[in-house]
Amino acid sequence: MEENSKITKIVIGREDELTDVVSGIINAKTDRIILTFAEESDILISAINLSVIKETADEENKILVCQIIKNPTGERNSKIAGITTIDTPNNPTEDIWEKAQAQEEKTPVVVENVEIEKEVIETPSQDIKNQKTSFETRVNEAIQKSRTDIENKKDVKTIHQDGIIISVGEDLPTAEAPIVQNPNLSNIDFKDIARGEQHTQIKKSWLKWPDFLKFKPKSSLPTGPQTPLVRKFKKLLPILLISLVSVAALVIVIYLNTGPFVKVRVFVKAQEVSIEKTFTGDSNIKEVNFAELKIPIKTESIEESRSSSVTATGKAYKGEKAIGAVRLIHGGMECVAALSLAAGQVVTSTPDGKTYTLDSAVTLECDTPATVPVHATDIGEEYNTPETNFTVKNHSTDEVYGKKSGTFTGGTKTEYTVLSLSDVNTASEELKSSSISEAEQTLKEKQGDWALVLDSIKSEIKKDSLKTDIAVGAAATQANLSLTVTSSGTYYYNKGFDDGVETLLTSEAQAKNLFNTDQNIELTLGDDIKKEVSVIQNTDSSVLIKLTASGSVLPKVDKIEIVNALKGKKWKEGGAYLDSLKYSDKSTMYEFNPVNFPQSLYYFPKRQGGILVEIVDI
């Protein structure tokens, strides 16, 4: 019920009864009331129900409008009952309220010569039988008035059954059923119960209880006057019994529909799949042709010049050579002729092994000494103090030998740093390595929609590009080194290539039927796809690119699809479906809960959450 300062809106549901509506009208705090029938209601099938509602509103001096949506029969019965009716979802306008008020102020129809047959019900007390409440009188009068109004309508045909008049429209047969006796409300005790409870008693009194539910006192019990408590118990006993049975049935129904649930576990094991394909490189196409295994290619080359400084580490010496004189003697028992020695003849001091050369040629006669000037073969002070004795190279001491003559002087030696060949080689290797790395990195950065085949990269030092600004062997501490590197590589068109590789892997898995199933299942690849591309042939006439790829593949298992397929199925039928879902060596498991539920009543629930599906990777 919704209320504002002027209007009370009563929304009537499918389960609401006439007494609920009457109570709502009586308890409403405003003078204007809207009855909204948003759902199908049994109240609308009879104009009698609506007449009772109209009489209640008139008694309470309240203006009533029925809002009946998409129910022509209800609209017709409402109009027959004299209630202003609208069929739109909007609230009534002021004109409609004025029309309803005018309808209420009309003089009610006077019913004459109509007599309601009454069913006499034996009650323990004659006083209670003769008592009538104002509510009972109002309901009886409303029913009689409604019946008279309906019979006076010429355009409406009715059927009288069980004390209720049902409007059926013009398409039913014209013959009317005989009028059955109306319910007698005079024997109901309205005295000691609240007003809201009276409505319920009116509603329930129309029920005709089976004989076995009627309370009949045994003959051995006193038949005299009974207390009100006993009378109430006799009236309420059938209601209590039916209520208990209804509640028990309702609990069972609710439990059967909300308690049980099914757990399903589908086991999935990933399968490994791999492919090896050889693509023919073609520089004249623009897209990868996976059907014919052709792929667009291109070759890129770059030239990078680099330079670096070289630290000289070579050692060199400068100075003067020592000079002196040697007294040579040619003689002995074997001397028969003179011995000639040329300038530059090497003589060696003993035992230190320092060498000197003769400054001039000399001819030695037998046993005739000759003094010859000499100079050291190398620089250094160590040549200034030679040993006393000398030998002549290529001659024995028996043939000729020498002795020191005077002092050897003038030998000096100073060390300095020079650029060595080793310095140049070491620096050039380092520069070459860094230059090649930078050149190859530049090639990789040029990829975009093209991917570089790494093993196709070739780098080399450009011929005659290695140079230094100081000659090898020259005195220096630093030198500049420069060179030029040329790098080239083969690219293949990469756009859409990864998707094509996944398609090839999936097709391979489907062709091999890795999951041994007759179903046309959809497969998905894992994230661990490994791909390797290499150039196996690169000539002027052809380029062959080898693709090796591998990964894991899984069947695509949709939980929602499984749940929808199982909803409402019988246990055996749903079990057969689940047994067909086999994606590993382990069969699908399913379990009905609670486990103590009768197995003959197992089923797959329709409600949301009644089937729990779990996908287990193994």
Give residue for tokens 């009188």. 137
What is the residue type of 351? P
Give residue for tokens 């109240």. 43
Which pLDDT does position 226 carry in this prediction? 61
Other Cβ atoms within 10 Å of 368 Cβ, number:
13
Distance from chain centroid for Cα 433: 46
Which pLDDT does position 252 carry in this prediction? 81
Q: Which two tokens stand for residue 265?
A: 């576990």
d(CA 577, CA 266): 12
Give residue for tokens 């129309």. 206
**CB contact burial 374-411 (16+ within 10 A = b; e otherwise):** bbbeebbeebbbbeeebbbeebeeeebbbebbeebebb
Report which secondary-structure segment, H or E, holds 400.
Answer: strand 400-409
Residue 176 near residue 156, CB atoms below 8 Å:
no
Residue 30 near residue 7, CB atoms below 8 Å:
yes
Q: What angle do CA 528, 532, 538 make, to 5 degrees?
A: 170
Averaged pLDDT in 10-residue chunks for the chain of 618 residues: 74 86 88 86 85 88 89 88 88 87 62 34 38 50 53 46 44 41 45 38 41 46 61 80 88 79 90 90 88 89 87 90 93 81 94 93 90 94 87 90 91 91 87 84 82 84 85 88 88 86 86 75 81 84 88 87 91 90 87 87 88 89
Residue 109's nearest CA partner among 139, 152, 72, 74 is 152
Pairing of strands 611-617, 261-268: parallel
d(CA 5, CA 502): 69
Which pLDDT does position 564 carry in this prediction? 92
Which pLDDT does position 466 carry in this prediction? 85
Instruction: Identify the burial level of 523 via C-beta atoms within 10 angstroms of its C-beta, where 0-12 means exposed, 13-18 middle and 19 or more buried.
Output: middle
Residue 40, helix vs strand vs coil: coil
Residue 1 near residue 11, CB atoms below 8 Å:
yes
d(CA 67, CA 99): 14
d(CA 508, CA 519): 16
For the chain, the first-to-last Cα distance in angstroms comes to 57
Residue 509 near residue 553, CB atoms below 8 Å:
yes
Taking the complete model, does pTM exceed 0.85, yes or no? no
Q: Pseudo-torsion of CA 339, 340, 343, 349, nearest 10°?
A: 0
